[in-house]
Structure 1
Amino acid sequence: TVDRYLSTQTPIWWVEVIDKPVTSPIGCLWLGNAIDQVEGDQVTHIFLLYVSPPHRRLGIGSALVTHAENWAKARGDRQIGLQVFVSNQPALNLYHKLGFQSESMLMVKSLRI
């Protein structure tokens, strides 16, 4: 339900530029709960990590992931995960640099005629 995803258990952080008029956030981090598909433990899942294009490659994404890791550790989680499109090479590069590894593969099949 909406209440489940918009609760203190699934926090959202917005990133704004300090000392500049706020027109819109430049980044966002949304965390939530997932179940480890192998061990069955609760883990933190990054639902959304976004940095606007003009602010990428400035360390904001890395800082947001570090914040997510600290939040997960404070909860006692032993793992953090996320999903990323295989075509999103910049994100893949960031996640690999930060120590994430591929563990599963989502497969799809088009049913369009």
Structure 2
Amino acid sequence: MIRKMEISDADEVYNIENQAFFEPWSKKNLIKDLKSNSFLNHYVAEVDGKVVGFYISSHVMDEAEIFTIAVNKKYKKMGIATALLNHLVETSLSKNIKEVWLEVSTNNIPAINLYKKFGFEIMGIRKNYYQKLGEDAYNMKKEL
């Protein structure tokens, strides 16, 4: 099940974020954005009542941007990231979004393959995007 993220989900989302990323969002910023940032969309995926994945995106005018999408390591390869991305695309279509953008590490082959499966195309490279890791990022776009 995919539903809107609630403040009570912050601990689990923060744990997943810490597993998945070198520089995670702080729990304080996550809660602040949940409470007051109307430009961001926060959704979680649940399995048996447990939060196992999430995404954060924005919708401005006719464009959407994926800021983060992550799945608990114990629940990888179960189609959860695919379900989250399906949800994001369906939500975007219902809001007349024309394009979805994202950045992804050039080293994150599983994510790149998932995005390509969904029709995202590499539009360019952002050199040293992840500065602390010294990694580049692909800038990817999907037209809806």
TM-score range normalised by the length of the shorter chain: 0.7 to 0.9
Q: Which TM-score applies when normalising by structure 2?
A: 0.59
The aligned residue for residue 47 of structure 1 is: 67
**Counterparts of 2:110 and 2:35 in 1: how far apart (Å)?**
27
Higher-Rg structure is: 1
The aligned residue for residue 32 of structure 1 is: 58
Percent identity between the two aligned chains = 23
User: Quick one: which amino acid aligns to residue 17 of structure 1?
Assistant: V
**Counterparts of 2:65 and 2:42 in 1: how far apart (Å)?**
12
Offset, 1:27: 0.4
| 5+ residue gaps, structure 2 | 1-31, 132-144
* Greater helix share, structure number: 2
User: Quick one: which amino acid aligns to residue 127 of structure 2?
Assistant: M
- 1:27–1:52 contact (8 Å) kept in structure 2: yes
The aligned residue for residue 40 of structure 2 is: 10
How many pairs does the alignment contain?
Answer: 99
| Secondary structure at 2:112 match in 1 | helix
- 1:104–1:6 distance in 2 versus 1, CA, 3 Å: farther
Let me know the Cα RMSD of the aligned residues.
2.5
Offset, 1:6: 4.5
The aligned residue for residue 85 of structure 2 is: 65
Q: Which runs of 4+ in 1 moved over 4 A?
A: 2-6
Offset, 1:16: 2.2
What are the superposed Cα offsets for residues 10-33 of structure 1, whole Å, 9 maximum, x if unpaired?
A: 110122222x5x4xx210111113
- 1:5–1:32 contact (8 Å) kept in structure 2: no
